[in-house]
Amino acid sequence: MAKTKGVGLINCRNYLLETYGQAGYDQVLAALSPEDRSVLQKPIVTAAWVDYGVYLRWMLTADKALGKGDFAVVHEINRYSARKDTGGIYKFLLRIISTETIISNAAGAWRQFYDTGKFAVVVKEHHRFVFEVTEFPDIPLHHDQENSPYLDELLRLCGGRNTKVTHPKCIARGDASCIWEMKWE
């Protein structure tokens, strides 16, 4: 299975604890498989590679246990993660560097968070970008429920208004690649 950085799990844990308290957090852990629970009960290191499937299943389980199973909790976890990942000096840079420049450099960010897959900007227009991810054969179903809200929040943090992120093609649904389209004003 593909790996992601531990920072995502740390952000997920912190969001769940801040929003739902220890009781809500424990409710989600109890609903996970023993294998996933054992991974999450160990110390998580920000820069360590962890199983992406465990991370995604954790968010999906939280959405079912604490929400309505409609991905709303997953979306909020990832908006929170985008805000946390872009704090400090990054918050300042997001305001002074153009959205286009930041998004153009997203390929480097992909490699910071995932150990597999190739990420490329395939369309770069004024207030519209299209990304493609290839070579990620075991990308889990519903990964777009993580990535799309994160990208949308990143656009907002860059000053974008009326943002829209879509995921019309998906490897997990049988397409040759994953495609994201980002639009904003």
* pLDDT attached to residue 91: 67
pTM score of the predicted model: 0.91
pLDDT tens digits, 75-94: 999 999 999 988 777 667 76
Instruction: For the chain, list residues with pLDDT below 50.
Output: none
Alpha-carbon Rg for the chain in angstroms: 16
What is the CATH T-level fold of the domain 89-183, as seen in this structure? H-NOX domain (3.90.1520)
Q: How far apart are CA 45 and CA 48, in angstroms?
A: 5
Q: How far apart are CA 177 and CA 23, in angstroms?
A: 39
Residue-range domain boundaries for the chain: 3-83, 89-183
* pLDDT attached to residue 107: 67
